[in-house]
Amino acid sequence: MPKKLPPNPDELPALQHVKSSNVFAIGYSIRDRKLFVQFRAAGSERPVPGAIYRYDDVPITVWRRFKDAKSKGHFLAAYIKGTYWYMRWTGRTWRPETALRFDSKKKKRLKQLAKKLRDATS
């Protein structure tokens, strides 16, 4: 079985391990506005790295809130999944997983988050 090639090191930033029951590590590329999330491998009692996903065109304000969130899994589900395009690292390349979809609840939450961020910085 051929060895998996690592993601392009120029594209993938250093990932920071986080304490979470769902997320293993996170990273962000300021230059490219890309968020990287490595999930924990399913079925393991110990924290084992699993699949890596890349979310595109994520504002740095969302990254900062995600990084500081008490619950990474909750923040990811509420503000990132279904809001930004994402791709999964297959071991050789990035593969699109789903189409971007904005449902009305996500739009409302995004507007609320944007307002909170504006209020916090003013």
pLDDT, tens digit, for every residue of 32-84? 899 999 998 877 777 788 889 999 999 999 999 999 999 999 999 999 988 88
pLDDT at 74: 94
pLDDT at 12: 74
pLDDT at 103 over 70: no
Give the C-alpha separation, 77 to 63, whole Å.
Answer: 14
Going by the DSSP 8-state scheme, the letter that residue 77 receives in this structure is I
Asked if 97 and 53 touch (Cβ cutoff 8 Å), the reply is: yes
Query: What is the sign of the dihedral through the CA atoms of 98, 22, 12 and 32?
Result: positive
pLDDT at 120: 76
